[in-house]
Structures are given as C-alpha cells and as structure tokens.
Structure 1
C-alpha cells in the first residue's frame, strides 16, 4: 500500500502462559446446532475454548530509533514511507511537503503534551526535509526524506511507552492488563543520557543515523 512504511520502527512479540510457565491449551469443542427428525445431527460447528485460569502475558517490544527518526520519501531503496508527486519542481509539490511538515510537527507537539513533556522541549520539536545520507552504510546513496530531531523522537518514544503501560486485552470473559513495563535503552553508538529513566523533562541524546547531503559534503 502507498504510504505504508516497509521498515517498521516497532517490533513486538508476545507469549501466553500460566503462572508456572506452561502455555495455555486450546480445547476443541463441538456445538450441536440442530437435529433432524430421526434425532441425528443436522449440522454442527467447531470452536476453540481457551483455558485462562492464572494466565500470564509476556511481551517484548523493540523500538528502532534508526527507523523511527527518518521518514523516507524516496522509493529507490525500497522503504518509502510517504509519497508525493514525483516532479519535485512543481510548486504544488513543495506546498504539499510544507503542509505535511506543518501537520506532522503539530501532531508531534500534541503527543508530547499528552506525554508530559515540558513546554520548553515541546517548542523544540522540529522535522527537516532534505536529501540525507546514512554514514557508514554500504551504499552512501542520498535519500530524500524527513528527519526528526531529538525532541520529536522523544515524544514518540514516550507515547510508545505510554501505550504499553496502558495495554490491555479483553477476550471472552477474561481481562488481561499490563502490570509492569521495563524499559532498556541500548544503542551501538555512543550517546549520553541513556542511563536515565524516560521522563518528559529530560531528552536523551538519541543516536542520529542520518546526515544531510550538504553537511556530508562540507565535512568531506
């Protein structure tokens, strides 16, 4: 589908089990719907009944800052996130991109406010449209896209944590909710502030995986 990011920034896996670590069993049940004149089954259906009891839900989520911070507009590397008219010389395309940036930044600020970020950090939220290069990659091909700054990334990280904290599952007459979420920030790059708990007041120095083509040329 157009506009769907192929490189998802959130990876999630989960398991169901009881309190002694055994998986929950599914029992196949037969539902007799009707009988004919001779008392024989006329039709039936199969359904599954999950055993709940002392159920434990365990999930692991990984949030990729690399995929989160960059919104690709170029499809030549196969992970286009948003599509505009391919003729970038048309004024309408530039206007569309500017409108998209305004809407994006506005939505990020709303998310940041909902997650308790300070007003000072909210005002710093920004996104830049340019040609970007990923240093150290095999192919240093410039990609057109939008790069989020530290404050914008932090707003999305906090929102992800907020949703995991309020996560719940309702199934049949059973209800499962999140009791505890443990957050670990790890990176292969040297970053400061990653040993601190996630709060709205302190914005960690997230790793930046992309640099503008102009800046790359200046540093070369």
Structure 2
C-alpha cells in the first residue's frame, strides 16, 4: 500500500465578533408566552450549562449567498415544468452549478423524474457551528410589531412579542476543506454518486461542454484573485481509480489539478475572511482566520495547536507569489484501460 503524501486537509480556526442575535431558533417552548423568540441555544443536559451559537447552515448560506441566489432562481424556473434526467434544462442547471463555487465547494443535490433520480456533489467543505463565548445568559425584551393584524385585517392591539437579545458577542469555530472530496467529480453512477446526468448518445459532447464551462470559471476566478502560478488551473476528464483501493473499479469523472485545488482553497479562505452576517437585528463579522495546511492523516489537527504555533499561517502568506505550487495530496490516479 502506497502512502499518500501532501496536504490532506486545509483547516481553519475562526474567530468572529458582533452584536445581538443573527441566528434565531424560533419560539421558546418553556416560556409562559406563546410569542417568545430565542436565539440558537444549545444546552448541556449533564451540567445544565448552555451557549448561544450560529449554525453551520447559516454560515454556509452567507459564504455563498451571492451565487446561491442566482442558482436558486434558475432552479425554480427549471422545476416549474416536469423534468427528467435527460432534460436539457436540468442539464444546463447542473452544468451552471458545477461551473461555480456552489458546485465545486458548497455542494448541491438535484432530483428529477418520477423515480426522483438524484444528481449531486458532496461538499468538500466542513463547517462547524460558531460558539458564542461571552455570555450564557441573554436579556429578555418586550417588543411591539407594527405589522400585527387581526383576522379581519385590522391592526391588532395585542401586538406584543418577547425575545431574548445579546449585547457584544464573540464567536469561535472551525472549518476544513477536505482535499479528497474536492479533487474528483464523479460523472458516472458506478458508486451511486453521479454529479451530472450524462446522456448515452450525447455523453462526449456533454463532457466537453462541462469541462469548458468549469475551466472558464476557473480562469475567470484566477484573474479575479490574481492567482499567478506556472500551472493553469483546470479539470480533465477520464477514468480514475482511488489510490490503495482493493478493488479494480474505476470511475469516469473530472479531476482537478493542483493549481485548480489551490485556487479554490484560496477563494474559500477569502470568503471566510470577508464573512459578515447582518440579520435578525444583529451582526457578526470575522475578526481572524488561522490556517493549517495539514499534511498528516490526523483529522482537525488545528484544534490541538496554540495560537502562536509556527504551523499556522494566514491568507496573506498563502497568496504570496511563488513559483512553487503547493503539493496537495493526490488521492486518484488515471486508468488507461477500463475493464
């Protein structure tokens, strides 16, 4: 068995600060009031302690909100009509999704047809909840709603509602980009995880168009980030086999080269650096992001490192011009002959 060397995961330690609540949990079932809102709150049943948090889904939404808004609109228009896996509108939707940060990093799932065939991409991005560090207790507020109306459509005099609020906040959390999941995009259904509905007759032209779309996106992103390296970021199609796989099975799909992986890693870290959430009468903004290029097989090694550990780096250090491309672990190898 060959040892897989290189960067296995890019791990992030996240620190953020803000004010108020940005992620609500809905009504409080323990309150004497029916209309009592509380923030996302996690309780420890053993010792009774509790803490406010921002869910990973909330963070992921805001990381990719610009792209998801566009694709959500396109998906809504596509699903107005009955679509099958062979539908050109569904194929265009998934092709546009894959040629974006949503398809390459965030992940997606689309279904079609009576049998609800599914086509999706597992997200290579792991995001943990952001835990609030400052206060376990929240202040209760009594509020009025200027929009409250009764069943006749007239203003309701009983427009009071209750909610908990936070003052100054500080959050901590972790995230990781899993290189193995980022590196390969399966296009056949050998293992039941096809990312795209290939047509048996038009397969070659579809793959060519898909490769061109993704490579165009990578080129545009490279220019936007001024990502200057000797190797052009791109994907290639073919049959690939997971290294050290005991079986001889191969999958047809797309493989990202080291430069494409590096480009998407930098863009994802940039999104965390620039992350801000303004909603729910509160706000949150990222204050610092520490990065570990983890070349070991130990998961989330960043959690055991101190703040001044020499293994940690920053986005500014990562994007410095260099002739040397970072060596990410190669988990898949091409197969020349398919059995």
TM-score normalised to structure 1 length: 0.76
Q: Residues 1-220 of structure 1: matches in 2 within 5 Å?
A: 1=110, 2-5=118-121, 7-19=122-134, 22-23=135-136, 25=138, 27=140, 49-85=163-199, 87=200, 90=201, 92-118=202-228, 120-121=229-230, 124-188=232-296, 197-199=317-319, 201-202=321-322, 203-214=325-336
Shift of 1:26: 7.7
Instruction: Tell me: CA distance 1:138–1:106, structure 2 relative to 1, closer, same or farther (3 Å).
Output: same
Structure 2: which 5+ runs fail to align?
1-109, 111-117, 151-155, 298-310
Q: Deviation string for 1:6-41 (max 9, x for gaps)?
A: x2200101234243xx44648586869689xxxxx9
Task: Tell me if structure 2 keeps the 8 A contact 1:127–1:149.
Answer: yes
Question: Please, what is the CA RMSD of the aligned residues?
Answer: 3.1
Runs of 4+ in 1 over 3 A off after TM superposition: 22-35, 41-47, 194-197
How far did residue 149 of structure 1 move? 0.4
Q: Return closer, same or farther for 1:216/1:29 CA change in 2, 3 Å cut-off.
A: farther
* 1:195–1:51 distance in 2 versus 1, CA, 3 Å: closer
Q: RCO greater where, 1 or 2, for CA within 8 Å and sep 6 or more?
A: 2
Residue 80 (structure 1) shift: 1.9
Shift of 1:173: 3.1
Count of residue correspondences: 198
Query: 1:3 Cα shift?
Result: 3.7
CA distance in structure 2 between the aligned counterparts of 1:126 and 1:71, rounded to whole angstroms? 13
Contact 1:68 1:153 (C-alpha < 8 Å) held by counterparts: yes
Residues of 1 paired with 2:192 and 2:169: CA distance? 41
Which consecutive residues of structure 1, in runs of 5 or more, have no partner in the other structure? 36-40
Whether the 8 Å CA contact 2:273–2:288 is kept in 1: the answer is yes
